[in-house]
């Protein structure tokens, strides 16, 4: 990420149903639209099955050599296969609890999200819920501060 280029983003949908072809990935598309509308350059959109190990492996691949934002959608709730936060915890180096807390405050149902936000290398990984409305609301709650956070992470100049 250079000082003046668009911030790059990647979107990962975590869903057994999308992998099996029994569900349409409406949430991934909704996140891509929100990111593009806020000046992010979405450089990859992919899908992985539910499960901590599957999520962890895909996040490692997505973060390798990447400076930017990785947003996951799905797997943050209470169902047995909802293990996105556990997979994310396996790979992040530092958590960003203030961002996750802000995301949960946008809607009463946000309290049911177990999503976390953290850092791996120069990437910020952000878990959002699997519903199109929920993922957009939660990412929108923090999207204004993410460019500043990513510049700090990349050790680029920031306005004070």
Distance in angstroms (rounded) separating the CA atoms of residues 38 and 6: 10
Find the largest Cα–Cα distance for the chain.
48
Q: 59 is written with which tokens? A: 């996040």
- Cα 15 from Cα 143, distance rounded (Å): 23
Question: What is the domain partition of the chain in residue ranges?
Answer: 8-153
- DSSP, res 160: -
User: What's the mean pLDDT in 42-52?
Assistant: 97
Contact predicate 13/74, CB 8 Å: yes
What is the spatial distance between Cα 50 and Cα 65, in angstroms, rounded to a whole number? 24
pLDDT value, residue 156: 85
Has residue 81 got a pLDDT over 70?
Answer: yes
pLDDT at 4 over 80: no
**The model's pTM:** 0.95
pLDDT at 2 > cutoff 50: no
Model pLDDT, residue 80: 93
Predicted confidence at residue 30, as pLDDT, reads 98
The CATH-assigned architecture of domain 8-153 is: 3-Layer(aba) Sandwich (3.40)
Mean pLDDT, the chain, integer: 94
Task: For residue range 103-116, list pLDDT tens digits in order.
Answer: 999 999 888 999 99
Terminal CA-CA length for the chain: 19
Q: How far apart are CA 35 and CA 140, in angstroms?
A: 9
* Tokens at 62, concatenated: 């997505």
pLDDT band at 155 (very low <50, low <70, confident <90, very high): confident
Higher pLDDT, 51 or 1: 51
Size (the chain), residues? 160
State what percent of residues in the chain have pLDDT above 70: 96
User: Which one-letter DSSP state was computed for residue 6?
Assistant: P
Structure tokens at 131: 């519903």
pLDDT in tens, 54-79: 999 999 999 999 999 999 999 999 99
- Report how far residue 34's alpha carbon sits from residue 60's, in angstroms, rounded to the nearest whole number: 24
Query: Is the Cα torsion angle 81, 87, 88, 89 positive or negative in sign?
Result: positive
């Amino acid at each position: 990420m250079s000082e003046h280029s668009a911030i790059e983003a990647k979107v990962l949908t975590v869903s057994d149903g999308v992998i099996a072809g029994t569900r349409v990935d409406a949430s991934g598309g909704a996140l891509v639209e929100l990111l593009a509308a806020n000046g992010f350059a979405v450089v990859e959109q992919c899908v992985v099955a539910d499960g901590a190990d599957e999520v962890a492996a895909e996040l490692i691949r997505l973060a390798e050599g990447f400076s930017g934002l990785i947003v996951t959608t799905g797997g943050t709730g209470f169902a047995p296969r909802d293990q996105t936060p556990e997979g994310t915890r396996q790979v992040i180096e530092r958590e960003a609890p203030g961002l996750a807390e802000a995301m949960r405050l946008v809607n009463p149902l946000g309290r049911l999200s177990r999503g976390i936000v953290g850092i791996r290398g120069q990437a910020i990984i952000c878990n959002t819920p699997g519903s199109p409305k929920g993922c957009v609301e939660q990412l929108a709650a923090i999207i204004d501060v993410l460019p500043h956070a990513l510049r700090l992470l990349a050790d680029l100049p920031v306005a004070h």
